Structure 1
């Protein structure tokens, strides 16, 4: 065993990660790289399989990945900060915080509240069509009819979280990129979490792969950035999770993280949502709070189990199933 900063690395934790990655690797295309990084109490470790580029490099905790929809929980934390600052209200109509060109649809007169966007209960469609631009998003909204009354049914919506990021940046009079950098990444020292990688980060960026294991064309996301545009590393994501476990003291972000995690909506099948976060039970009945993400070329998974002081990040440079592996790892770590 050895120390990494203030965290104790143990062979037992590493063994669990390695065993589960090795057990799953045959289901992943040859050459695709996967890293699993975990923390249990003050113990931290990681394990890897595969490679992340043509040079045959293995992934490391500082390899940069597209994290896709895990971006949503960064938007959720930014929302919680805005709520604590009094810039927006969860139970206020979302439209009042949007630029003037945006008009949100209603259902029998019921407006979409801010909290509806963050819990995927707005009734909005999953995605907006047309160009990835503000004008395209506004045009889509103008012809959108809600599928259900806001606040009543869970319907996953990338469009809803894109609007959430837009209203947060508009309320703060800044861009979404600057909002996340100034309010989350710099205070938490997440130096590799960004919408626009530097040259150094680009050199560490994993090459995405398609389902056949060939290099993938990964889309650049603009308007949808609050829903799926961020890049990050296992190192940064574990620190982000540690904040939500209460292990990273910060006068503003620690209480905001508690706001983001708090349960707010439950489905008939006992799936509970916080602000973008999903709450489900593991096979051992421990509660896992998680989000995953997928883009052509990448898949990501991040979870914490507060009752066991445990956090897990799994990142891959192919859009493949990580959930079953991650669930098994979490269950073993929390038994």
Structure 2
């Protein structure tokens, strides 16, 4: 998930993930005890990886450890605990895939059902090389759809899916086509899982959230896994932060809830982990086993995709299942050793990566990747722009670049984040000046121009917006979102 600036629309293509990672080469060994996990978390909080981190582990006997460091509050030091709520992003997908597996076993749907069977006749779902798109293709990310559709233009960049509609999803899937048949390749798609959750909700005749609660959360005693927060849950919702440490808004995604809308806490997710490992007995276990069955390979050495999960094997033959999630201010991961029946869940109120911590805790021979805070340049430029003015900030940036001040990293992400923070502070004209500087500094970067066009558009500068979008498309002919924004702005 390396991208420029995450709270601006173009970079949502990467942010909303269930992060795709390179498979770690696991070597079997016992998971870490609590007294060894604690100093690791404290070090990571100190190094600004995340304001707060909470870890839960479970072993084959059902014994749990919960260890935390840092704070979940924006102001004040309040240690995360088993009640603290987090957005879990794409971990939602394995709830959606479990619903699918359960409905398959109950003969309510079939994996090979074409999605067109469950959609209005007005939705023209393409059939490519005589292969219709099926529920299985949605569940194992093999339709061919990209991570994000092209037709999103939210009212708020800070809550980008709140007003994305199912009609927009229908519009996208009616237009999207490819030169290979569904089921041929793995390609991670949030829109696919959003559609899958919608279809399952339609089949059941109930909202997605109700379906998850009735069929999964109630049987597994998971009262705090939800989309709509009760007052008591909202009171303990961790404040999310982007990579630079800036507090960000929570996300809502009513139309595509099945791809990433759930919130939860460590207790509930340990219940889910234990059930998937077979430690906690449940009538859902046959459906879980169906959801764990490999369906399609990822890239070489990246493991296999099941229904929602990724399955990898260690050198010693241990099988690991993992799923992670990301929203604008949160990271989460669930990593399960199916062979030894051990698992780890990590929740953090940050956009910075945490997967390496999970691997190390469950298989200590896998090292923690050293984290280094890289946003000093952003901090200096933003502080000058706020305390003085944007012109002084630009002068300071140019001076630092000439002198190559030690410890500063110069790349498009630094200025994009400065612009984003100025926009949040309602300093749009200053934000645009920073993005214009970014375009001067990185004239070959399509995403820089897409972001600039976005800010021009939202400032009523139609001509400038179209020119920026045209430049973005000229630099990257595959930038479908910039193309869509260009046509929408023209019209």
Select 1:242's aligned residue among 261, 264, 274.
274
CA contact (8 A) 1:216 1:297 kept: yes
Matched, 1:36 2:64: no
Pairing of 1:255-294 with structure 2 (within 5 A): 255-270=286-301, 271-282=303-314, 286-294=318-326
> What stretches of structure 1 of length at least 5 have no aligned partner?
1-10
- Shift of the alpha carbon at 1:284? 6.2
Once residues 196 and 352 of structure 2 are traced to their aligned partners in structure 1, the CA distance between those partners, rounded to angstroms, is 28
Structure in which a larger fraction of residues adopt helix: 2
- Shift of the alpha carbon at 1:125? 2.0
Once residues 287 and 28 of structure 1 are traced to their aligned partners in structure 2, the CA distance between those partners, rounded to angstroms, is 32
Select 1:16's aligned residue among 36, 59, 80.
36
Q: Pick which of 208-217 and 292-301 moved more.
A: 208-217
Matched, 1:48 2:48: no
Residues 1:85 and 1:51: Cα distance change in structure 2 (over 3 Å): same
Once residues 241 and 85 of structure 1 are traced to their aligned partners in structure 2, the CA distance between those partners, rounded to angstroms, is 23
CA contact (8 A) 1:20 1:329 kept: no
Higher relative contact order (CA 8 A, sep 6+): 1
Once residues 221 and 74 of structure 1 are traced to their aligned partners in structure 2, the CA distance between those partners, rounded to angstroms, is 16
Select 1:93's aligned residue among 93, 107, 114.
114
Residues 1:215 and 1:266: Cα distance change in structure 2 (over 3 Å): same
RMSD over equivalenced CA pairs, Å: 2.0
Pairing of 1:24-173 with structure 2 (within 5 A): 24-29=44-49, 32-42=51-61, 43-53=63-73, 54-128=75-149, 129-130=151-152, 131-146=163-178, 148-173=180-205
Once residues 75 and 99 of structure 1 are traced to their aligned partners in structure 2, the CA distance between those partners, rounded to angstroms, is 21
Pairing of 1:198-217 with structure 2 (within 5 A): 198-217=230-249
Once residues 263 and 55 of structure 2 are traced to their aligned partners in structure 1, the CA distance between those partners, rounded to angstroms, is 16
SS for the counterpart of 1:320 is: coil
Once residues 101 and 187 of structure 1 are traced to their aligned partners in structure 2, the CA distance between those partners, rounded to angstroms, is 37
Q: How big is each residue's C-alpha offset from its partner over 1:4-47, in whole Å with a ceiling of 9 and x where there is no partner?
A: xxxxxxx97212322432453454346x1100110112221021
> What stretches of structure 2 of length at least 5 have no aligned partner?
1-30, 153-162, 367-491
- Shift of the alpha carbon at 1:215? 1.0
Once residues 170 and 195 of structure 2 are traced to their aligned partners in structure 1, the CA distance between those partners, rounded to angstroms, is 10
Who wins on radius of gyration, i.e. which is larger?
Answer: 2
The corresponding residue for 1:7 is: none
CA contact (8 A) 2:223 2:268 kept: yes
SS for the counterpart of 1:327 is: helix
CA contact (8 A) 1:64 1:232 kept: yes
Q: Pick which of 240-249 and 63-72 moved more.
A: 240-249
The number of aligned residues is 322
User: Normalised by the size of structure 1, how large is the TM-score?
Assistant: 0.90
Once residues 301 and 147 of structure 1 are traced to their aligned partners in structure 2, the CA distance between those partners, rounded to angstroms, is 34
Greater than 6 Å deviation, 4+ residue runs: none
SS for the counterpart of 2:222 is: coil
- Shift of the alpha carbon at 1:179? 0.9
CA contact (8 A) 1:36 1:315 kept: yes
Q: Pick which of 266-275 and 304-313 moved more.
A: 266-275
Once residues 201 and 147 of structure 1 are traced to their aligned partners in structure 2, the CA distance between those partners, rounded to angstroms, is 46
SS for the counterpart of 1:307 is: coil
CA contact (8 A) 1:63 1:204 kept: yes
- Shift of the alpha carbon at 1:61? 1.5
